[in-house]
């Protein structure tokens, strides 16, 4: 019979970067805040998941880490195993966790079958138990010309049709349809629900939030420059520093968050350049980026999903410098958001003219606010996710139906 306390299991697709983990963590926190009888367990391969705070009734299982190399191949992060052994170990931990935790709902983030199909057996096992299976997608996946063959190679469409009960898109259709250009059957299309973006808030400020950045900026206007995880943010940081090196009369200071996954030698180089600039400070990482963003007069960022949500949530004027490789996701999001009047955008052509960036930084505090675009339902994501999950959790499970049938 159904338990008094519901359980949700979330699979976070993590190789390198912070995006998937931060999105899943935010969803988990929102769910337990809305439902006092709910517990959430997150499966993640993020090497820094332990650096984040988690609410009561939210916990995580850390599976062995894997990183994606520049050539597209995967390799274990720490273990002296080959990739096949590591993936088999991850798949075993995922399945055994799901069997023991016995969730009332399984939410898979971004990758329908998990990394290299590591979630497929778990999906089939939970499907047989009658557990609702939900795929959560960000607003933009990639350009259709690349996403379609990738999903065909991974045999994704049969999983969407046969395994998943619903597909939740954490965005709005007027900004992007993540499955545009893919030949998705009408029956699968009917499973899609757009939730709106996931609104972020600034909660109580823990003392740890101030331990690794200079509070000289706390009482002065500053522009926040963030690269997310930082693994591919070197171009953005270089361009901003060139602007401050070129023009020492830029009106606002800059607080740069390099990101924990930036190469140490590049971190050291950027820190040295920042030390020579009186209007620039830099830190490598802060787990409470929303606090820093809330205080900023403007934001310069690459435009990943979570950063975009924070820009909208805190109604910050933003300049987006999106990456265009290995995916066009950030570019597609930024271009559409610019067209709708939500942000401004610069494209890094490799030249990184400091004068172009300096002009954009001067104009940043004068841009119109994202809220002035007045898009209905823009930040309704958490409320809609809570509603959708609540609807599934109040349905009788397959086990309940079977038990009632036997006693009828």
pLDDT per residue as tens digits for the range 270-284: 999 999 999 999 998
Please tell me the total number of residues recorded for the chain in this structure.
408
| Rounded Cα–Cα distance for residues 251 and 361 (Å) | 9
- The proportion of the chain whose per-residue pLDDT surpasses 90, expressed as a percent, equals 68
- Tell me if 20 sits within 8 A of 108, measured CB to CB: no
Position 206 pLDDT exceeds 80: no
- 280 pairs with which residues across the strands? 254
Instruction: Examine the domain organization and report whether 363 and 214 are in the same domain.
Output: yes
Separation of CA 295 from chain center: 21
| Rounded Cα–Cα distance for residues 147 and 110 (Å) | 12
- SS3 of 136, please? strand
Instruction: Examine the domain organization and report whether 10 and 108 are in the same domain.
Output: yes
Our count of domains for the chain comes to: 2
* Rounded mean pLDDT, 223-237: 91
Residue 149 corresponds to which tokens in the numbers above?
Answer: 């063959």
Instruction: Examine the domain organization and report whether 251 and 338 are in the same domain.
Output: yes
Instruction: Examine the domain organization and report whether 190 and 320 are in the same domain.
Output: no
The pLDDT of residue 396 is 65
Q: Is the pTM of this model over 0.85?
A: yes
Residue 281 corresponds to which tokens in the numbers above?
Answer: 């400070």
What is the residue-averaged pLDDT of the chain? 89
The pLDDT of residue 65 is 85
Measure Cα distances from 39 to 31, 36, 89 in Å: 9, 8, 25
Instruction: Examine the domain organization and report whether 160 and 230 are in the same domain.
Output: no
Instruction: Examine the domain organization and report whether 45 and 119 are in the same domain.
Output: yes
Instruction: Examine the domain organization and report whether 218 and 351 are in the same domain.
Output: yes
Could you list the residue range(s) of the whole structural domain that residue 214 is in?
207-373
In a domain, 1, yes or no: no
Q: CATH number of the domain that 361 lies in?
A: 3.40.50.2000
């Amino acid at each position: 019979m159904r338990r008094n306390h519901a359980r949700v299991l979330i699979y976070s697709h993590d190789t390198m970067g912070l995006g998937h983990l931060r999105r899943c963590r935010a969803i988990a926190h929102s769910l337990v805040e809305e439902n006092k009888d709910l517990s959430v367990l997150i499966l993640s391969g993020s090497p820094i998941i332990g650096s984040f705070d988690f609410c009561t009734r939210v916990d995580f299982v850390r599976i062995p880490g894997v990183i994606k190399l520049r050539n597209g191949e995967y390799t274990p992060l720490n273990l002296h195993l080959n990739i096949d052994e590591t993936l088999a170990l991850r798949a075993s931990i995922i399945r055994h966790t799901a069997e023991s935790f016995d969730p009332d709902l399984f939410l898979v983030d971004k990758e329908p079958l998990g990394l290299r199909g590591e979630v497929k057996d778990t999906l089939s096992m939970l499907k047989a138990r009658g557990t609702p299976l939900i795929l959560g997608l960000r607003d933009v996946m990639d350009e259709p010309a690349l996403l379609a063959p990738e999903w065909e190679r991974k045999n994704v469409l049969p999983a969407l049709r046969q395994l998943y009960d619903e597909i939740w898109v954490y965005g709005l259709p007027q900004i992007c349809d993540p499955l545009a250009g893919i030949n998705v059957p009408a029956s699968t299309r009917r499973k899609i629900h757009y939730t709106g973006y996931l609104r972020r808030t600034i909660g109580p400020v823990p003392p740890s939030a101030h331990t690794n950045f200079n509070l000289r900026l706390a009482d002065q206007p500053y522009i926040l420059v963030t690269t997310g995880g930082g693994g591919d943010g070197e171009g953005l940081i270089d361009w901003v520093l060139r602007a401050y090196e070129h023009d020492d009369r830029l009106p606002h200071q800059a607080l740069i968050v390099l990101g924990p996954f930036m190469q140490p030698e590049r971190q050291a180089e950027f820190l040295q350049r920042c030390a020579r600039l009186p209007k620039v400070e830099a830190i490598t990482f802060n787990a409470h980026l929303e606090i820093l963003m809330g205080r900023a007069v403007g934001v310069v960022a690459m435009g990943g999903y979570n950063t975009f949500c924070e820009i909208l949530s805190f109604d910050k004027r933003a300049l987006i410098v999106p990456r265009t490789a290995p995916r066009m996701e950030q570019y597609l999001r930024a271009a559409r958001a610019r067209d709708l009047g939500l942000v401004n955008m610069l494209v890094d052509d490799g030249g990184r003219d400091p004068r172009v960036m300096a002009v954009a930084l001067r104009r940043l505090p004068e841009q119109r606010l994202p809220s002035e675009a007045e898009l209905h339902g823009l930040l309704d994501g958490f409320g809609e996710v809570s509603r959708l999950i609540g609807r599934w959790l109040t349905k009788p499970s397959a086990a309940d139906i079977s038990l009632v049938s036997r006693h009828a």
